[in-house]
Amino acid sequence: MGTADSGTMKDPSTKTELPSVVIRLAGDSGDGMQLTGTQFTTSTALSGHDLATLPDFPAEIRAPAGTMNGVSGYQIQFAGTDVHTPGDSPDVLVAMNPAALRANVGDLVRNALVLVNVDSFKPKDLAKAGYENNPLEDGSLSGYRVIEVELTRLTRQAVDDLGLDTRSADRCKNFFALGMMFWLFERPMEPTEKWLREKFANRELILEANLRALKAGWAYCEATEVFAERYVVPRAAAEPGTYRNISGNTATALGLLAAAERSDLQLFYGSYPITPASDVLHEVAKYKEFGAVSFQAEDEISAVAAAIGASYAGSLGTTCTSGPGMALKAEAMGLATMVELPLVVCNIQRGGPSTGLPTKTEQADLLQSLFGRPSETPTPVVAAATPSDCFAMAYEAARIAVRSMTPVIFLSDGYLANGAEPWRIPNVEDLPDIPVPQPNPENFLPYLREPETLARPWARPGTPGMEHRVGGLEKEDGTGNVSYTAENHERMVHLRAEKIQKIADYIPEQSVDGPDSGELLVVGWGSTYGAITGAVEHARREGLSVSHAHIRYLNPFPKNLGDVLSSYRKVLIPEMNLGQLALLLRGMYGIETESFTKVQGKPFTEAEVFTKIREMAS
């Protein structure tokens, strides 16, 4: 078998143009499907397509091989126009074993292309997956175009003369499959080749084996006409600029760093490992040349407490966690509210309660974010709408925290955290300014407030003449001295609430996509953005009048939100919880809402939201 080059070989097959494609790669959690998906994504992004991705992996690192519990999947949608979600139903499934087929075949579109590794469909593999009959033989896949490939045997052959043991040779088969996908969709292989050369720079044999498997996959398609046709997806016409592909967690880390740089503060990031937030810690830990201090704490409480200590000392204190960790941080967040120090708490939400679904997505921590601390503890809350929006909103969280001297909660979720999309790289100088409340040396009091924001001054230890004490006890405004009097407490409770409300003076007003009044407004927050946007566009193509407002500032709400909501006859609120935003909006604005909920650990599909819109609009 010869090697192939993406640019030089003659194209033997016909090409079909498609507006968009959804591919799902599935295999055992040890099969490297996340890696394969990431490589396909990079290549697709560099081809200039818009895309969205969704990894879906089990909570167990290595569940028993070949079983349904061990299936790990990676889905990508790419297209020539705006892609809002990783897609509802895959057009192509790559199944490395029977369990991967069984777990995913129900989601496919009719007549989907199904590529299976036929070498792993032996009776014991079928039994592990719970198949009584071989689905490749019993006619149950007749609605699909099944491509049977001897992935294991062909990969072993491709690396035959390298002298690898069978296990190492078999580990290359995901790259064989990737080579086939690259051929099918005419993706360049160079980025993956470059990645392999860097990754295995010191492991020549493994490098060579993976390169051969990759190229062999391509060549196999070229030589055998295993696929009847190739697919071409026209490129996106995106806004001019420089782009990169970015996941939500990377964007979150970069947003925090950018805010620290722009406010000229040292970034302090305290964190305790937790799925799906750990990647933010891994990312910040790389930013040492920026002076960023990352602190892997002994627990969630220490992570937030150290961040508060760092803020007291003059750094931008930040911490990141998921649901169980948020519960543990609640008391310390109350302290930050009381001592009025900047603090960003990122919550990468996952399915709960308790340990729940650690690797699955949910957005059920909204009410906890607003109210999940004892007493009157007003806390600003912002939420990212897409993976790349995590950059903007993490930055906003830090901007609000510093400007108003307050803890701020930034909400993302597992879907945004691990999902990725192209991001137009912003110009650092164009990012909003972050004013830091400075103490006045002539007239210093620790709780003397700026009238505009009610922020107190940030006097850092080490500054002569401004020695002062802060603490969790109720205090007198101005001096900060401990005070237990009844009138003072009531005054301080109102003051702290007013300070948070004043943030509405400097955040953007609520924007609406679509007519600014009418029959139906779909209101969302967080990661439902993609599905709602796609569904609303679909509805408009069908002639329905529907608008979409996506709320990124959840406390305080934008000033005009009440007016926006009251401009439509019906308000539909899709949420991945049991109606938490709906409850808030009904309570705050006294409006009727239609709550549409899904709590399956999976995001809404466009079709689900569209169906609901059609039902309400007609």
Indicate whether 308 belongs to the interface with another protein (CB under 8 A): yes
Q: Using CA atoms, how far apart are residues 455 and 502, in angstroms rounded to an integer?
A: 10
Indicate whether 384 belongs to the interface with another protein (CB under 8 A): no
Tell me the C-alpha to C-alpha distance, in Å, between residue 421 and each of 341, 535, 576.
34, 19, 21
Indicate whether 327 belongs to the interface with another protein (CB under 8 A): no
Q: Please list, in sequence order, all residues whose beta carbon lies within 8 angstroms of the beta carbon of residue 327, skipping any fewer than 6 positions away.
A: 368, 372
Report in angstroms how near the CB of residue 303 gets to another protein at its nearest.
8
Among 339, 394, 409, 492, binds another protein (CB under 8 A): 339
Among 17, 239, 442, 487, binds another protein (CB under 8 A): 239
Among 36, 117, 245, 271, binds another protein (CB under 8 A): 245
Chain centroid to Cα 19, Å, comes to 25
Indicate whether 273 belongs to the interface with another protein (CB under 8 A): no
Report in angstroms how near the CB of residue 466 gets to another protein at its nearest.
7
Closest to 151 (Cα-Cα) out of 118, 114, 178, 124 = 118
Among 441, 461, 508, 590, binds another protein (CB under 8 A): 461
Q: Please list, in sequence order, all residues whose beta carbon lies within 8 angstroms of the beta carbon of residue 139, skipping any fewer than 6 positions away.
A: none
Indicate whether 206 belongs to the interface with another protein (CB under 8 A): no
Stretch that binds another protein, among 66-74, 260-268, 351-359, 550-558 (CB under 8 A): 260-268
Indicate whether 467 belongs to the interface with another protein (CB under 8 A): yes
Stretch that binds another protein, among 105-113, 149-157, 266-274, 533-541 (CB under 8 A): 266-274
Indicate whether 289 belongs to the interface with another protein (CB under 8 A): yes
Among 2, 139, 464, 587, binds another protein (CB under 8 A): 464
Indicate whether 199 belongs to the interface with another protein (CB under 8 A): no
Report in angstroms how near the CB of residue 16 gets to another protein at its nearest.
25
Indicate whether 450 belongs to the interface with another protein (CB under 8 A): no
Alpha-carbon dihedral sign for residues 221, 227, 229, 234: negative
Bridge partners (DSSP) listed for residue 54: 75
Indicate whether 297 belongs to the interface with another protein (CB under 8 A): yes
Judge contact between 216 and 1, C-beta under 8 A: yes
Judge contact between 102 and 130, C-beta under 8 A: yes
Among 176, 218, 287, 596, binds another protein (CB under 8 A): 287
Among 9, 301, 544, 583, binds another protein (CB under 8 A): 301
Residue 481, both tokens: 């001295």
Report in angstroms how near the CB of residue 311 gets to another protein at its nearest.
8
Q: Using CA atoms, how far apart are residues 278 and 116, in angstroms rounded to an integer?
A: 33
Indicate whether 282 belongs to the interface with another protein (CB under 8 A): no
Indicate whether 444 belongs to the interface with another protein (CB under 8 A): no
Q: Name the DSSP class of 369.
A: H
Report in angstroms how near the CB of residue 411 gets to another protein at its nearest.
22
Judge contact between 262 and 431, C-beta under 8 A: yes
The backbone region for 615, taken as left when phi is positive above 0, alpha when psi lies in -120 to 50, beta otherwise, is: alpha
The residues in 49-68 that bind another protein, with binding defined as CB under 8 A, are: none
Indicate whether 258 belongs to the interface with another protein (CB under 8 A): yes
Indicate whether 469 belongs to the interface with another protein (CB under 8 A): yes
Indicate whether 81 belongs to the interface with another protein (CB under 8 A): no
Report in angstroms how near the CB of residue 241 gets to another protein at its nearest.
6
Indicate whether 299 belongs to the interface with another protein (CB under 8 A): yes
Q: Using CA atoms, how far apart are residues 305 and 299, in angstroms rounded to an integer?
A: 10
Stretch that binds another protein, among 120-128, 327-335, 371-379, 489-497 (CB under 8 A): 327-335
Which DSSP string corresponds to 550-605? EESEEESPPTTHHHHHTTEEEEEEEESSSSHHHHHHHHHH----EEEE--SSSPPP
The sheet with strand 316-321 has its strands ordered as 293-296, 267-271, 316-321, 343-349, 407-413, 381-383, 553-555
Indicate whether 330 belongs to the interface with another protein (CB under 8 A): no
Residue 220, both tokens: 């196999």
The backbone region for 392, taken as left when phi is positive above 0, alpha when psi lies in -120 to 50, beta otherwise, is: alpha
Indicate whether 389 belongs to the interface with another protein (CB under 8 A): no
Binding site for another protein (CB under 8 A): 42, 45-46, 48, 191, 238-245, 254, 257-258, 261, 266, 268, 270, 287-293, 295, 297-299, 301-302, 305-315, 317, 331-332, 334-335, 339, 425-428, 460-473, 481-482
